[in-house]
Structure 1
Amino acid sequence: MYTPRRPRPERALITGAAGGVGSATARRLVADGARVALTDIDQDRVRALAAEIGSAAVVLPADGTDSDGVAAVVEGAVGELGGLDTVVAAQGAAVGGGVDPRHTESWNRALDVNLHGTFHVAGSALPHLVEASGSLVLLASTAGLIAGPPGAAGYTAAKAAVIGLTRWLARDYGPRGVRVNAVCPGFVRTPLAQGSMAYLAKREGITADEAFALSARHVPLRRVAEPEEIAACCAFLASGDASMVTGHVLVADGGGAAVDASTVAFDPPPVP
């Protein structure tokens, strides 16, 4: 009978740790008994998170699009924690822009943050995860499965590529004992989603909270996710409870991706 080497993560690196999902994942893994290395380009917020968490956290700020900086972060995490058995790549940014040549800069930026940064951390961390028979969790998005918000061509393409990268890594590194999975949230109540909600709120003349509710009007659960709910998905995939799960894309969107857009006109009125 197979017995996981560790039931829960013990030494974890979290990228994008200053963000809503990244910080929630850090708190969850520490609550589960892990020590965590936290990295993000936002030094002030990631240091504040580490101060909140306490001695179980170390801070290694870096620009996630800089391959040398990411490699230094990984080596720093290995040195501080004594190795790595878990990496959660949660960096990301909602960068607007279509496919008009005028949007080339935003397209490149969307891919740099959401795809290339994930590529850099995976490449640097995987040798250590092989040594530990560890787990890599990549944050994608339902935008990678179905068309994302209008004006988000680069973000949508990048998240679709993260899903493809997840499956390739699972196939290539499974024989070496590493599990690789992706989490695809829909809208989450985080600063990353606030830009979209601010636009919707202004367009409709409503509050940001009402915009979140409007965005979830046809989602089966009728609400957006909280960061802690996505963190729980990451913690599960990183744990021994998911010991037979690799190459999987876990959709955590309240059922939104299961809905055929052509049928939403038949939905009953929203529950008061």
Structure 2
Amino acid sequence: MVTQRRRKPELALVTGAAGGLGSATTRRLVEDGAKVVVTDIDADGLAALADETGALALPADGTDREAVRAVVADAVARLGGLDTVVAAQGAAIAGTAAPKHADAYERALDVNLHGTYHLAGEVLPHLVDAQGSLVLVASTAGLIAGPPGTVGYTAAKAAIIGVTRWLARDYGPKGVRVNAVCPGWIRTPLGEGAMSYLSQREGIGLEEAYALMAAHVPLRRVAEPEEIASCCAFLASGDASMVTGHVLVADGGGAVVDASTIALD
């Protein structure tokens, strides 16, 4: 028996919506006809997105459980329910395993993992009611080692994959699908921080830095935010009605490359 009959999301919440991927996902869901509530700690960026798309902005700190609870309650009250949630909050907080970076590690876990955990706990009862879908944004850093100096980010994204699979198993019998998207490099403000560093280090332009980063990616380019938003929209839609517990890698093929064979290219 098919329990999720809606073709596309109708009542959606997007977190981390002021960021490049979150804003692209918001635009896609609105274009698909959904009523969307957006949240982010960046109130100004959120307001601009709301003005552009017509989404309802509810700024909040996603690492604060009480703030997340209030946002979800407000979203449900204003929309009349929730059938789709995309958790796109995240930040690449620099830090290594050295003791002096312990605070950075904890902060990376708070933003990238604990905030997602808090959100899931608040939205899942509503998704059970709606037989809905939860999409968690992880990263290829959760599958392979992330860039240098991102141990907390890497640990958090790997944990999100584990949380995705556990939630899919636990909530599948209740009619809720839970999936993850693992992007590689994307043209977002977060990604451009790394590209700017590479550009300065190598004495090259930003576009050359992107090309250098993608030199051994099979598709030879990084993703546009809209491409990853399409992956989120697919997983949230009725077209993916039999898909749960899945980790969708969207990295242009980068994760399939064996580093020991690059010299042969």
Tell me how many residue pairs correspond in the alignment.
265
Match of 1:198 among 188, 196, 199: 196
**Deviations, residues 150-169 of structure 1 (Å, cap 9, x unaligned):** 11100000000000000000
Checking the alignment, whether the CA contact within 8 Å between 2:4 and 2:132 is kept in structure 1 is: no
Q: Name the counterpart of 2:46.
A: 46
Q: Which consecutive residues of structure 2, in runs of 5 or more, have no partner in the other structure?
A: none
Checking the alignment, whether the CA contact within 8 Å between 2:3 and 2:175 is kept in structure 1 is: no
Q: Name the counterpart of 1:163.
A: 161
Report the alpha carbon displacement of residue 3 of structure 1 after superposing the two structures with TM.
Answer: 6.4
**Deviations, residues 200-251 of structure 1 (Å, cap 9, x unaligned):** 1111001122111110000000000000000000000000000000000000
**3-state DSSP of counterpart to 2:171:** helix
Q: Name the counterpart of 2:207.
A: 209
1:53-72 counterparts in 2 under 5 A?
53-54=53-54, 57-72=55-70
Q: Name the counterpart of 1:26.
A: 26
TM-score for both structures, normalised by structure 2: 0.99
2:17 maps to 1:14: no
Return the alpha-carbon distance in structure 2 between the equivalents of residues 153 and 52 of structure 1.
36
**Deviations, residues 5-38 of structure 1 (Å, cap 9, x unaligned):** 2110000000000000000000000111100000
Q: Name the counterpart of 1:90.
A: 88
Report the alpha carbon displacement of residue 2 of structure 1 after superposing the two structures with TM.
Answer: 2.9
Q: Name the counterpart of 2:234.
A: 236
Could you tell me which amino acid in structure 2 is paired with residue 77 of structure 1?
A
Return the alpha-carbon distance in structure 2 between the equivalents of residues 168 and 68 of structure 1.
24
TM-score for both structures, normalised by structure 1: 0.96
**3-state DSSP of counterpart to 1:77:** helix
Return the alpha-carbon distance in structure 1 between the equivalents of residues 207 and 14 of structure 2.
28
Return the alpha-carbon distance in structure 1 between the equivalents of residues 224 and 83 of structure 2.
26
Q: Provide runs of 4+ in structure 1 moved above 4 Å.
A: none
Q: 1:266 to 1:227 in 2, by over 3 A?
A: same
Checking the alignment, whether the CA contact within 8 Å between 2:3 and 2:131 is kept in structure 1 is: no
- RMSD after superposition: 0.8
Q: Name the counterpart of 1:270.
A: none
Return the alpha-carbon distance in structure 1 between the equivalents of residues 62 and 153 of structure 2.
16
Q: Name the counterpart of 1:143.
A: 141
**3-state DSSP of counterpart to 1:97:** coil
Report the alpha carbon displacement of residue 194 of structure 1 after superposing the two structures with TM.
Answer: 1.4
Once the two structures are aligned, what percentage of the paired residues are identical?
74
Return the alpha-carbon distance in structure 2 between the equivalents of residues 94 and 135 of structure 1.
26
**3-state DSSP of counterpart to 1:163:** helix
